Structure 1
Amino acid sequence: MQTIRHELADGIATVTFDEPGSAVNTMCLALQQDLTEVVSRIVADRAGLKGIVLQSAKPTFFAGADLKSLMRLTEADAQQGFREIEQMKKNFRALETLGLPVVACLNGSALGGGWEVALAAHHRIAVDEGRAQFGLPEVTLGLIPGGSGITKMTRLLGLLGAQPYLVEGRTFGAREGQRLGLIHELVPDAAALRERALAWIAGHPHARQPWDEKGYKIPGGTPAHPSVAAALSVAPAMLRKTTRGLYPAPEAALSAMVEGALVDVDTALRIESRYLAKLMAGANARAMISAFFFDLNAIKSGRSRPQGVARSQPRRIGVLGAGMMGAGIAWANASHGIPTVLKDLSLDKAEAGRACSARIAEALVAKGRMTMTEQSALLERIRPTARNGDLAGCDLIIEAVFENRALKAEVTRAAEPLLEPANGFATGVFASNTSTLPIGGLAAASARPEKFIGIHFFSPVDKMKLVEIIRGRQTDDETVARAYDYVQAIGKLPIVVNDSRGFFTSRVFGTFVMEGAAMLGEGIPAAVIENAGMQAGMPVGPLAVLDETSLALSVHVLEQTRADAAAEGRTHADSAGERLVELMVKEHKRLGRAAGGGFYDYPEGGRKTLWPSLKTLFERPGAPWDLAELKDRLLWRQSIETARCLHEGVLNSVHEANIGSIFGIGFPAWTGGALQFVYGMGIARFAERAAQLAEKHGGGFAMTPQLIETLEERQPRY
């Protein structure tokens, strides 16, 4: 056997998972084959055995499925997948019904298929340490726990108790697992696992699973129980409200739970296998595995970080501008232990920014995610000031002032000389939190442009995980690496892009909202446009997003773009959406939510409603529209612009495109990201639809042969 060691001593069969050439154990094909072999050996040795111990030779117990192999599956592979799942569960059932005690020694995390291996044991012992995670997060990858996890967790926790762990993919630590009854015993370290396993085997010579005991009943009752039935009657509607029908895995998990609870264990296991086989051979699973495993791990592992630069973390950070963005950045720093100087024009404004940070912390205290002591310590790390001199000692300064080139240049010249060297580096780093202005132009105000970089946070900072790092033409590798380390140090996801107007995220975000505004200008009802965005999977509709980010700001950016184009001797071609937004601001004085109203009205104490005048000003009765085409326009336009960013060298990688689009601009997660949307559909099919949209709706949808060639060259291979 390649992946499993099987040893017999003193009547104990020890099964050690040890996949060669891998840092973790996975449910690869070789392991599945080896599991069949080792189970057949154990069955043959049954008469001379006292018990079975399952353990791992890796730092963790078991990591789950072999996701690379899943990425290669197609619908034609579903039947073979079903047979493989059934064989794996046949092995699990053989172990747990052998009449011998089986103990799982969990020396570290056991997730997905790894937790299902653990569930084949009658007794689970885990090391009591905070980092290990257990559970079945498959739905986050477009799959379900189909290796017996749904059937067994439902029978251990009940239909209602198991839902968060199966339908939502919630994981848990060792102590929570013990409280739930899923982990039976905790030990202080891995060295104590085997001794406790042998002791339990000696005391339980004829162990059986709960569901195999005579008279067993599911906790809380079956779907026929009145209280369970009442909850299940609304569960599908609530789930559909969350998934919008775009994520099949949670719905499949709920169906398998309920159907499986109405039948015997072995039938329930078969139901589970059928649902998983269909999902694992489907496009949604491939898209979500691509994004939330491969792409996300590429970011976390620092694949985009310049190599050869020592890792670092800033000792003290200065933030210029104490508005909502600056206050959010200060909170992010302080919440991760980094002292921060928050500077504004007056002490009152700086203190108001610190108060904004305090409100973020207060909300966490109210939710039980932070103690009062932790809140106090956090606020102590934020020093409000109006004096430039207080920035002395900072080795990173981030300006977060208004999007005005002259203002940004002024604060850069005033604060940059106060930067100090740190962590063995000769000087500190100056960063601009700009969302649109090219870094090359802003760096002109810097005395050290090689140490000048863009660090683009998203609002609200306390909730948005992505940070876009923008490399200017003169920015050196050391500065990029230090920015990357800083972003990771405050618990966020960094992507690195090259300098361009709007960079990547703002540029693509602009196509989404302006396509929505263009639709309004075509006479399509605003409610239809907003619903099209939501049904496509965007968090909110394009008009609502424009209100939140400010129509006035969009017009300011448009005017700056026109001015910069004129300075370069050319004319900016305004889009139909840009012209409509400018009309809203300049003629109708609708500036956005912060100014009292934009496309929506915001009554005090009430829910927002679409501005009634949109109907008379823009809607044209009889204007043709097709909901499917509106959804296509919103998604295709963003993906094509993302592809252009890759082709032009603004984006460096496909994984940054996908993660940036999902976490930065809310591109639907069901697609796997803006470029995975193209690859998942097939480049040729995507380009064919793009050509149809370009013919009807303009050059924004046009794809050149060179663009298609870039997509083909950069397509990931698994």
Structure 2
Amino acid sequence: MYQTLNYSVSDAGVATILIDIPGSSANVMSVQFRDELASAISRVADDSSVKGAVISSAKSDFMAGGDLKQMMTLFDQGLNAEQALAVANQFKPLLRKMETSGKVFVAAINGPAMGGGFELALACHRRVVVDDAKLVLALPEVTLGLIPGAGGTQRLPRLIGIAKALPILLKGERLSPQKALELGLVEQLVSADTVLATASQLVLETTDPSQPWDRKGYSVPGGAGFMGPEPGATFNLAATSIARETSRNYPAPIALLTAVAHGTAVPMDAALHIESCQFAKLLMDPVARNMMRTLFVNKGELDKLVNRPQNVAPAELKTIGVVGAGLMGAGVAHVAALANFDVLMLDATEAQAEAGKQRLADGFTKLISRNRMSQDKADTILARITAVGDYARLADCDLVVEAVFEDRKVKSDVFAKLQAVLKPGAIIASNTSSLPITSLSEGLTAPENFIGLHFFSPVDRMALVEVIKGKQTSEATLAHALDFIKRLRKTPIIVNDARGFFTTRVISAYLHESMGMLAEGIKPALIDNAAKLAGFPVGPLSLIDEVTIEIGYNAMNQTKADLGADWVEPVGYKVQKRFVAELDRKGRRYGQGFYDYPDGKRQVWAGLADVYPQQDPQPNVEDVKNRLLLIQALEAARAFEEGVITDPAEGDVGAVLGIGFPSYTGGVFSLIDTLGIDRFVATCERLAQTYGERWQPSTWLKTRAASGERFYPLAV
């Protein structure tokens, strides 16, 4: 009778509704599922022989929520307010009917319940969950530019109070079964083989088939709306925190706060309407579309290795080598060991390699002291890492990651030593952030086994790996490198070989533009604060100081030497040279850079105005923000034109995950499309008249603008 669920009734009169969306590994809400669930709920409500129902899943997950792929396309289709409100109300009447049907519904949560799936469980009268540490319950919609749209903003605070609910909603916090039990969101933790039986027994034991908020005299725990000192203080604190953390670039947190504040002050039916109105507004906003597309749909496809060569058998990688026991090398060793690889970490001497491993151990000790890691987990990771000082020890490695200084000669020496000891077919991967892969492979007898794997620091926390194909990199090497990254649970983007690849080119444009502004006489505080207001996690000048001005200067000198007469001086080079070679202010590590650091605190260098006289008046903060955003998008467009990046989805995911490009934009290419490519090009042409040739769009880009060709075709 049903295609998306299974319906049965026991001899005791308990109906069991098992969700099982066909053709999908996960249960995702759809119109067909909604209609069939509505039919099943009506059967339970109308059949006097049925005492109540258990809702569970026939799959390993409970339910993943709404179909974000489909929802993502609605903005492109020109959704109006009435249509958006209809989408927002798709499941609300159904869930409201369920909880007011006069029959008991118990959620038997046998796997992850995310988004709409968790909202379905919250609408049930009681909940039991399998006691599995890997099982999570969450309402992550805000992290994707939306808010819960099936009553989650109203039922969660009504169950546990506003003060406890808001952090879960605003951060998309992933709750373990134990945490959910402690909060009072579920009633029991049970084993997987008893979850249905336990839920069925709860149906039979429950005498009042109503929700607390539908009973006379109910009040929200701790107070509701803006009334009372506790909720008032909570909302004020949340609003302040949202403004500070998002610079008001993200509409979803404010919409959520509004829905909770106003919704909890009124009866449930009116509250659900308030949630729907806020949800509909977000659905009509490009921010939600951009975030869903980049952070969920496109990232999800890349995590599945959608661009992996399909004709290559899966890799059988067991032992991984890492050359270099510094910050990057130790980080790669850490994540490889965490992924159950045996890891050999090599440095110039075994003692230096041991020192790198000890730094990892010291870091783990700090995490353990903060209850962020168990001792057993730390011991397991460290046991898989062996510190070595002899290249011959790497002979049986299947893949070796080179993570030494960004110096062509040093790297070439490493590759020569690796080539002499590695078994045939072993992959050599360079962690270079800018040096062309093809030229680095020139001394190798098997360049087809050479590839670039650009990790980002800190490796254990950064999700992206930029995979660089050299001209001779084989399809098998690419496929097996992607298999390695998937084992690490990181997201790969594939780029073609070119100096700086994709991410380094884009962020370099940002950093050089900021140094160019400094030379123009714009105050460093304005530059850095404008960047944070634009959504960057840290200001560019502060970032350069942290990694040291010296590193960028040395890298640029390497580029200058490599390119010779073809080198084009970037706008920030003279600033780098002046601070490093003339002023000896190399960055925070040296105690002085663009800023001074008395007692570890950052403050503007008092002598800066003597070096670069400051403008009066200073430019508008919006102009500074736009320059920092748009210069990166322009450089990304150039990389696309040159074939370095061939898929805007990979470019957007790479920009957001790898270099901290503001996620509300969806990434560099989404930013261009959202602004409108014609408007983007016109703005760049205007900036070129004031700031120079680096802002001049190419003929190719102007041609696209003239024809209105987007990087992402409109979904129709």
**TM-score, with length taken from structure 2:** 0.93
Deviations 1:217-241 (Å, cap 9, x if unpaired)? 3223334343443343322112211
Give the CA RMSD over aligned residues.
2.4
Pick from 499, 502, 522: which aligns with 2:500?
502
Pick from 548, 552, 574: which aligns with 1:550?
548
Question: Is 1:372–2:375 an aligned residue pair?
Answer: yes
**TM-score, with length taken from structure 1:** 0.93
Question: Is 1:332–2:332 an aligned residue pair?
Answer: no
For the Cα contact (< 8 Å) 2:673–2:710, is it kept in 1?
no
Deviations 1:497-537 (Å, cap 9, x if unpaired)? 11100011111110000011111111111111111111111
Question: How many pairs does the alignment contain?
Answer: 707
Q: How far did 1:210 drift?
A: 1.7
Partner of 2:435: 437
Partner of 2:578: 583
Partner of 2:521: 523
Matches within 5 A, 1:672-687: 672-687=666-681
Pick from 213, 218, 222: which aligns with 1:220?
222
Indicate the SS of the match to 1:384. strand
Indicate the SS of the match to 2:102. coil
Which residue type is aligned with residue 628 of structure 2? L
Matches within 5 A, 1:271-310: 271-310=274-313
Partner of 1:121: 124
Partner of 1:63: 64
Q: Aligned in 2, Cα 1:429/1:87: closer, same or farther, shift over 3 Å?
A: closer
Q: How far did 1:288 drift?
A: 0.7
Q: Aligned in 2, Cα 1:55/1:219: closer, same or farther, shift over 3 Å?
A: same
Partner of 1:572: 567
For the Cα contact (< 8 Å) 2:14–2:203, is it kept in 1?
no
Which residue type is aligned with residue 376 of structure 1? D
Partner of 1:427: 425
Matches within 5 A, 1:385-404: 385-404=388-407
For the Cα contact (< 8 Å) 2:44–2:103, is it kept in 1?
no
For the Cα contact (< 8 Å) 1:523–1:618, is it kept in 2?
yes
Q: How far did 1:303 drift?
A: 1.1
For the Cα contact (< 8 Å) 2:669–2:711, is it kept in 1?
no
Indicate the SS of the match to 2:466. strand
CA distance in 2 between counterparts of 1:688 and 1:527 reads 28
For the Cα contact (< 8 Å) 1:50–1:205, is it kept in 2?
no
Q: How far did 1:3 drift?
A: 4.3
Matches within 5 A, 1:269-668: 269-312=272-315, 314-420=317-423, 426-566=424-564, 570-604=565-599, 606-622=600-616, 625-668=619-662
Question: Is 1:77–2:80 an aligned residue pair?
Answer: yes
Q: How far did 1:39 drift?
A: 4.8
CA distance in 2 between counterparts of 1:95 and 1:384 reads 60
Deviations 1:182-239 (Å, cap 9, x if unpaired)? 22234433x6444333322222254211222333232233343434433433221122
CA distance in 1 between counterparts of 2:704 and 2:428 reads 34
Deviations 1:99-146 (Å, cap 9, x if unpaired)? 211122333222111111122211223333343322211001111113
Which residue type is aligned with residue 545 of structure 1? L
CA distance in 1 between counterparts of 2:166 and 2:60 reads 29
Deviations 1:688-710 (Å, cap 9, x if unpaired)? 32332233323333333423667
CA distance in 1 between counterparts of 2:376 and 2:10 reads 53
Q: How far did 1:475 drift?
A: 0.8
Deviations 1:143-172 (Å, cap 9, x if unpaired)? 111311111000111111112221111122
For the Cα contact (< 8 Å) 1:451–1:475, is it kept in 2?
yes
CA distance in 1 between counterparts of 2:390 and 2:196 reads 62
Indicate the SS of the match to 1:183. coil
Q: Between 113-122 and 215-224, report the one with greater CA deviation.
A: 215-224
Q: Between 81-90 and 582-591, report the one with greater CA deviation.
A: 81-90
Which residue type is aligned with residue 415 of structure 2? T
For the Cα contact (< 8 Å) 2:64–2:113, is it kept in 1?
yes
Partner of 1:178: 181
For the Cα contact (< 8 Å) 2:87–2:280, is it kept in 1?
no
Q: How far did 1:249 drift?
A: 1.0
Indicate the SS of the match to 2:203. helix
Indicate the SS of the match to 2:501. coil
For the Cα contact (< 8 Å) 1:313–1:489, is it kept in 2?
no
Pick from 133, 137, 149: which aligns with 1:134?
137
CA distance in 1 between counterparts of 2:89 and 2:389 reads 68
Which residue type is aligned with residue 712 of structure 2? Q
For the Cα contact (< 8 Å) 2:302–2:492, is it kept in 1?
yes
For the Cα contact (< 8 Å) 1:530–1:540, is it kept in 2?
yes
Q: Aligned in 2, Cα 1:488/1:69: closer, same or farther, shift over 3 Å?
A: closer
Partner of 1:715: 712
Q: How far did 1:276 drift?
A: 0.9
Pick from 102, 106, 111: which aligns with 1:108?
111
For the Cα contact (< 8 Å) 1:4–1:15, is it kept in 2?
yes
For the Cα contact (< 8 Å) 2:322–2:345, is it kept in 1?
yes
CA distance in 1 between counterparts of 2:247 and 2:622 reads 15
Indicate the SS of the match to 2:171. coil
Which residue type is aligned with residue 337 of structure 1? N
Which residue type is aligned with residue 437 of structure 1? L
Which residue type is aligned with residue 427 of structure 1? G
Q: Aligned in 2, Cα 1:40/1:395: closer, same or farther, shift over 3 Å?
A: closer
Partner of 1:201: 203
For the Cα contact (< 8 Å) 1:61–1:110, is it kept in 2?
yes
Q: Matched residues, percent identical?
A: 39
Indicate the SS of the match to 2:442. helix
Partner of 1:29: 31
Question: Is 1:240–2:246 an aligned residue pair?
Answer: no
Q: How far did 1:57 drift?
A: 4.1
For the Cα contact (< 8 Å) 1:112–1:137, is it kept in 2?
yes
Q: How far did 1:46 drift?
A: 5.2
Partner of 1:97: 100
Q: How far did 1:717 drift?
A: 5.3
Q: Aligned in 2, Cα 1:54/1:462: closer, same or farther, shift over 3 Å?
A: closer
Q: Between 295-304 and 394-403, report the one with greater CA deviation.
A: 394-403
Deviations 1:363-421 (Å, cap 9, x if unpaired)? 3212212222332333333333332233232222222221211121112111222223x
Deviations 1:573-599 (Å, cap 9, x if unpaired)? 212212222222111112122233211
CA distance in 2 between counterparts of 1:307 and 1:415 reads 29
Q: Aligned in 2, Cα 1:463/1:107: closer, same or farther, shift over 3 Å?
A: closer
Indicate the SS of the match to 1:521. helix
For the Cα contact (< 8 Å) 1:654–1:714, is it kept in 2?
yes
Q: Which runs of 5+ in 1 are unaligned?
A: 421-425
Indicate the SS of the match to 2:598. coil
Q: How far did 1:295 drift?
A: 1.2
Partner of 1:423: none
CA distance in 2 between counterparts of 1:705 and 1:525 reads 34
CA distance in 2 between counterparts of 1:353 and 1:86 reads 55
CA distance in 2 between counterparts of 1:120 and 1:394 reads 53
